[in-house]
Amino acid sequence: MKNKKFITFGFISMGLSISLLLNSSLFAQATQENNETSRLQSLAKFTKVISIVEKYNVDDVNIEELMDKALDGMMKNLDAHSNYLTQKDYKRLKVQTAGEFGGLGITVGMKNGALTVIAPIDGTPADKAGLKSGDIILKINEMSTIGMTIDEAVSLMRGKVGAPINVTIVRKGELKPILVHIIRGIITIESVHSRTISDDTLYIRVASFDQKVATDVKKEFQKKKKSTKGIILDLRNNPGGLLDQAVALVDLFVSSGDIVSQKGRNASDDKVYSAGYTSTMTDIPLVVLINGGSASASEIVSGALQDQKRAILVGENTFGKGSVQVVLPITDDEAIKLTIARYYLPSGRTIQAVGVKPDIKVAPGEVKTLKNEFAIKEADLKKHLTQELEKVDGKKQKTKEDKDTNKDIITLEMLNKDIQLKSAVDILKALIITQGK
């Protein structure tokens, strides 16, 4: 009887399973039908609104204009970096990525709904005019930027080389808006350059991530490899660029482990980028400089090196752009720029809207030094050893003159004008000493 009960129970269980499977299948089918109905209703609603606006709007607007406005509005409302590219916008984007253009030389983004300077590019008109990371652009000439898209703003700021433009900005710490007059120039970027500090320290500045960043950094290191005991990597005001170059740069400093991962809505968009075997600078003390103008690719580099315990980060919190955009053509002349994924650092933390925090926070500014006019030293005594002092002074003077005429050397005077860099040098010296380099 027990067996019969068991068998009966088995049939009941099987019946329930079949019933559940059928119900599940019917539920999925019903859900699919509901979704399809909902989609058709939404499309019908959209078509109805287009028809009403086209028929009754106070100004005559044709269907093409309405569709462009509708697509533009839809893309704008997805996130700050997605947008619809009209024929004119798409052409402008191709020019920007393929050739020279006249402009100001700044990277801008939307932060809390305001058009914000992410970073001025080194040596460009915007940099020379004094625009800074974090400046909020209120007006471009006489046009307000409220409600303006990034592409619309870029379009207004770009123009003929030599043409003037006025930009009204709001800056933290300033009570009134500031009017900045800029003359447009040809934007050419020197992405990587290096200098030496006190003979044994290599300073490498990466202004943006173009196609040759990792190769150029490696070349700069190879030139000074024998004398280099420590490296300072300056990523301040670096607005980002190519992901593969960010990965390749980190790969120069680490020998293994993940560098960055991206996760999207679909599994096909998920990728993990790991270190390979191209590492050349894995055992040299490293300090990285960052600030609020360090964005995207530069945040990946600094964050990955921090997570890997490979570098000390000095400066200020970075911008916080941790999303992936792709340009998808919809016709031969039009496209959309769409956010498809987010970046994650090796530890799993996100960059988006959070940024990378420095290990040692240092605000920008100059090093304040006080000279004690009343201090008495050996050289001030009446009968000091003048002959030996002349030899030393003569040697020092010659060395100072040589350094002052060498543009590849950062002097103490230059360091004192940049407290963030001075702090990085001091920290690096400590690392060199403790690691016995």
Q: Which residues are catalytic?
A: 296, 307, 321
Query: What is the distance between the alpha carbons of residues 362 and 427, in angstroms, rounded to a whole number?
Result: 12
How many other CB atoms are there within 10 angstroms of residue 234's CB atom?
Answer: 26
Which amino acid is located at 310 in the chain?
A: R
Query: What is the distance between the alpha carbons of residues 401 and 411, in angstroms, rounded to a whole number?
Result: 11
Handedness of CA 315, 316, 322, 328 (dihedral sign): negative
Query: What is the distance between the alpha carbons of residues 349 and 299, in angstroms, rounded to a whole number?
Result: 12
DSSP string, 411-424: -HHHHHT-HHHHHH
C-alpha closest to that of 249 among 291, 204, 285, 292: 204
Structure-block tokens of residue 272: 């993990």
3-class secondary-structure state, position 326: strand
Distance of CA 261 to the CA centre of its chain: 16
Q: Any idea what the Cα angle at residue 64 is, between residues 81 and 147, rounded to 5°? A: 35
The H or E element that residue 98 is part of is helix 87-98
Buried b (16+ CB within 10 A) or exposed e, 304-334: bbbbbebbbbbbbebbbbbbbbeeeeeeeeb
Query: What is the distance between the alpha carbons of residues 162 and 25, in angstroms, rounded to a whole number?
Result: 68
Which amino acid is located at 428 in the chain?
A: L
Query: What is the distance between the alpha carbons of residues 149 and 143, in angstroms, rounded to a whole number?
Result: 13
Which amino acid is located at 403 in the chain?
A: K
C-alpha closest to that of 106 among 173, 174, 172, 156: 156
Structure-block tokens of residue 334: 């039009």
| In contact, 285 and 310? CB cutoff 8 Å | no
